[in-house]
């Protein structure tokens, strides 16, 4: 395949982790006979420094013209960086919000996987963590409470704030379809999370998800209330495959799920639109405290690239190869500083990238 990938190295550790991920992708392309065309664009602080704005129209056009976008991370130290003296709509993060909007990315995917070799970092009791877990949180990203009408008023001298939570059936259907499609590529189970005992928006959510489920007889659907889901994530995380949920519930649950893995440098993410197009980036930020020191863990970005191979390009074999390389390198005892433990060999960002590329088969 001939694949056009627009890269956003971004700020902080972004350029380091993206460079290592390109190394791994080049190796995949070499072994499996693909041609990759990378083009870098500026976003975030890097774009502010050159263009005065966190994202230019030209950069958006280049992202749109690609088959997928691979991003490092953006932003600086929020207390000391001059980028944070700018008005909010000119700061680094505004670039990412604008890009997500321009690309119509409505589905956010965050896997939370506990690797055997890193089980020690899991904060759960061993009797729970020993079962392992490998789940994916599918969060609706452009609707719900965060995008509803909001206002603060004063009535009879009392201040009152109003936020509205709205979903229409089309918004629910398109994310449900993504959730079932992806569950079909995994272990075939969707847990749809809502608060249908209280909220109308959740009752509609449940109905539409059930309609979509009829088109996927090979995928099992269960419903779970969000409060129960928050408990089940720490009580029995092994039960989950795909968790499908609306924007605010997904925001909270995906952070909870990532915390139970215990390793921020390992967490991938993807945001998709209704074609095969997606933006792939690690869940962590730009880690300005370790930027330029060759100590960052590139694995979250490499695993995001594996998601890109799987979900944007349908290259499952190649995605499996990248994920297997990550497991192999961990099994051999190589660790970056953030996941280092006794008896292992500590390596830098660049060496980790080379080890991963070498283990692609």
C-alpha span between 335 and 19 (Å, rounded):
18
Q: Considering Cα of 276, then 277, then 280, then 283, what sign does the dihedral take?
A: negative
Active site residue 115: no
Judged by CB under 6 A, the stretch of 111-119, 208-216, 290-298, 353-361 that binds ligand NAD is 290-298
Which of residues 53, 103, 290, 322 is near ligand NAD by CB under 6 A?
290
Active site residue 251: yes
- Binding of ligand NAD by 93 (CB under 6 A): yes
Q: Is 31 helix (H, G, I), strand (E, B) or coil?
A: helix
Buried b / exposed e over 298-315, threshold 16 CB at 10 Å, is bbbbbbbbbbbbbbbbeb
C-alpha span between 73 and 46 (Å, rounded):
11
Q: Rounded to the nearest whole angstrom, what is the least distance from the CB of residue 318 to ligand NAD in the complex?
A: 23
Judged by CB under 6 A, the stretch of 56-64, 101-109, 146-154, 282-290 that binds ligand NAD is 282-290
Q: Rounded to the nearest whole angstrom, what is the least distance from the CB of residue 13 to ligand NAD in the complex?
A: 6
Q: For ligand NAD, which is the closer residue by CB, 14 or 144?
A: 14
Q: Closest Cα partner for 46 from 100, 97, 95?
A: 95
Cβ neighbours of 31 (radius 10 Å): 12
**Residue ranges in 2-21 that form contacts with ligand NAD under rule CB under 6 A:** 13
Which of residues 21, 47, 73, 254 is near ligand NAD by CB under 6 A?
73
Active site residue 2: no
Which of residues 6, 129, 261, 286 is near ligand NAD by CB under 6 A?
286
Q: Rounded to the nearest whole angstrom, what is the least distance from the CB of residue 200 to ligand NAD in the complex?
A: 32
Active site residue 227: yes
What is 314-348 written as a DSSP string?
A: --HHHHHHHHHHHHHHHHTTEE-GGG--TTSEE--
- Binding of ligand NAD by 250 (CB under 6 A): no
| Residue carrying structure tokens 């499908």 | 244
Q: Closest Cα partner for 110 from 260, 213, 220, 225?
A: 260
- Binding of ligand NAD by 74 (CB under 6 A): yes
Q: What is the DSSP letter of 357?
A: H
| Total of chain residues touching ligand NAD, rule CB under 6 A | 22
Active site residue 293: no
The dihedrals phi and psi of 103, each to the nearest 5 degrees, come to: -95, 0
Q: Which sequence positions are flagged as catalytic? A: 146, 195, 227, 251, 255
Binding interface with ligand NAD (CB under 6 A): 13, 73-76, 78, 93, 96, 264-265, 281, 284-290, 296-297, 300, 338
């Amino acid at each position: 395949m001939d694949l056009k990938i627009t890269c956003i190295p971004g700020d902080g550790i972004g350029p380091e982790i993206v460079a290592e991920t390109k190394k791994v992708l080049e190796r995949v392309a070499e072994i499996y006979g693909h041609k990759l065309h990378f083009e870098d664009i500026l976003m975030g602080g890097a774009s502010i420094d050159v263009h005065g704005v966190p994202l230019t129209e030209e950069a958006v056009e280049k992202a749109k013209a690609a088959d997928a976008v691979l991003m490092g991370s953006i932003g600086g130290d929020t207390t000391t960086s001059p980028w944070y003296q700018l008005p909010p709509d000119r700061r680094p993060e505004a670039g990412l919000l604008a890009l997500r909007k321009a690309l119509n990315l409505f589905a956010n995917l965050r896997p939370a996987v506990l690797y055997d070799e890193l089980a020690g970092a899991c904060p759960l009791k061993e009797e729970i963590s020993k079962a392992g877990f490998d789940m994916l949180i599918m969060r609706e990203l452009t609707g719900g409470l965060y995008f509803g009408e909001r206002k603060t008023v004063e009535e009879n001298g009392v201040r009152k704030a109003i936020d509205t939570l709205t979903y229409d059936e089309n918004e629910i259907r398109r994310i449900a379809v993504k959730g079932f499609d992806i569950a079909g590529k995994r272990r075939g189970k969707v847990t749809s999370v809502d608060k249908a005992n209280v909220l109308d928006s959740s009752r509609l959510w449940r109905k539409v998800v059930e309609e979509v489920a009829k088109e996927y007889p090979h995928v099992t659907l269960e419903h779970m209330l969000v409060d129960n889901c928050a408990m089940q994530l720490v009580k029995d995380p092994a039960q989950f495959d795909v968790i499908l949920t609306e924007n605010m519930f997904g925001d909270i649950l995906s952070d909870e799920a990532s915390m139970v893995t215990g390793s921020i440098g390992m967490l991938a993410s993807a945001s998709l639109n209704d074609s095969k197009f997606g933006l792939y980036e690690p869940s962590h930020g730009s880690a300005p405290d370790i930027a330029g020191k060759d100590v960052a863990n590139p694995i979250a970005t490499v695993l995001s690239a594996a998601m890109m191979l799987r979900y944007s390009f349908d290259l499952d074999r190649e995605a499996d190869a990248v994920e297997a390389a990550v497991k192999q390198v961990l099994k051999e005892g190589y660790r970056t500083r953030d996941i280092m433990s006794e008896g292992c060999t500590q390596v830098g960002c660049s060496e980790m990238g080379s080890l991963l590329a070498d283990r692609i088969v």
